[in-house]
Amino acid sequence: MIYYFSGTGNSKWVAEELALRTGDEAQSITGLLRDGPTEVFAAEGASIGIVFPVYAWGAPLIVEDFCKNIRLGSGAYAYAVCTCGDEAGRAMHHLKNIFAYQSAWSLVMPNNYIMGFDVDSPELERKKIAQAREQLQTIAQMILSHKSVYDVHEGPAARLKTTLVRPMFNTFARSTSSFSVDDSCDACGLCARICPTQAISLESGRPVWVKKQCAQCTGCINRCPKRAIQYGAGTAKRGRYVMKTGHSA
């Protein structure tokens, strides 16, 4: 089984592409956790993968919490694949303290963190996806062969970024106080339905952020069909990104 966490579709696409190439199944971590913590056991000889986006050079906390409830049987093959805009830092090394994988890879995918940056150009998006598709074929072959591999682009000052910047991100940058919604909202309710931390409630059909922190998956702001959701003053003029290639939703 391949378990994934995804905000705008990058990691979902990667998980589903790997599932197609390895004859496996992909399942959403968010969906599994709707009813509370879920225990997972990978039996002897089984293959289990975790696919997730890198947030501030670390795995999302929801992914780490999920991995804490995974038990690996003797001889199970475990692997992890992370998606990132450029570099992963020491995200995979930190994850291994929780999830004892044999192999790990990073894939560069289009940027979706519009709170900090604009989206990639269409040309760069296509280039990243094409390169990722080629890399996935190689990764799938290694998974089927149960290879032991560490192919992660950590980038410069990786340890510093993961050990210092990531904790600050999790403490301060996940605040929901900067989210707002304008009058173009049509009360579709999509944002509340897809929020992985159930941080959004609807009042008269409009979103209200009812928790102080969220996962910062950017799903609500990027997927809003009316572009009615903003984060501070910086996102109004920035693009929106949702993975539409292949088997993404």
Domain CATH for 225:
3.30.70.20
Residues 158 and 201 in one domain: no
CATH of residue 160's domain is 3.40.50.360
Residues 180 and 157 in one domain: no
Q: Name 206's bridge partners.
A: 203
| pTM attached to this predicted model | 0.95
Please report whether residue 244 resides in a domain: no
Please report whether residue 143 resides in a domain: yes
Residues 74-124 pLDDT 10s: 999 999 999 999 999 999 999 999 999 999 999 999 999 999 999 999 999
| Residue range(s) defining the domain that contains residue 193 | 175-231
Per-residue confidence band for 36, with pLDDT thresholds at 50, 70 and 90: confident
Q: Once rounded to an integer, what is the mean pLDDT over residues 151-180?
A: 96
- Asked whether 83 and 52 are in contact (CB, 8 A), the reply is yes
Please say if the pLDDT value at position 189 is more than 60.
yes
Please report whether residue 72 resides in a domain: yes
The total of structural domains in the chain comes to 2
Please report whether residue 242 resides in a domain: no
Residues 218 and 117 in one domain: no
Please report whether residue 83 resides in a domain: yes
What number of CA atoms fall less than 13 Å from residue 186's CA on the CB side? Answer: 6
Please report whether residue 77 resides in a domain: yes
Q: Once rounded to an integer, what is the mean pLDDT over residues 213-232?
A: 97
Please report whether residue 207 resides in a domain: yes
Please say if the pLDDT value at position 247 is more than 50.
no
In three-state secondary structure terms, 31 is: helix
Cα angle 106, 43, 68; round to 5: 55
200 φ, ψ (degrees, to nearest 5):
-115, 130
Mean pLDDT of the chain: 95
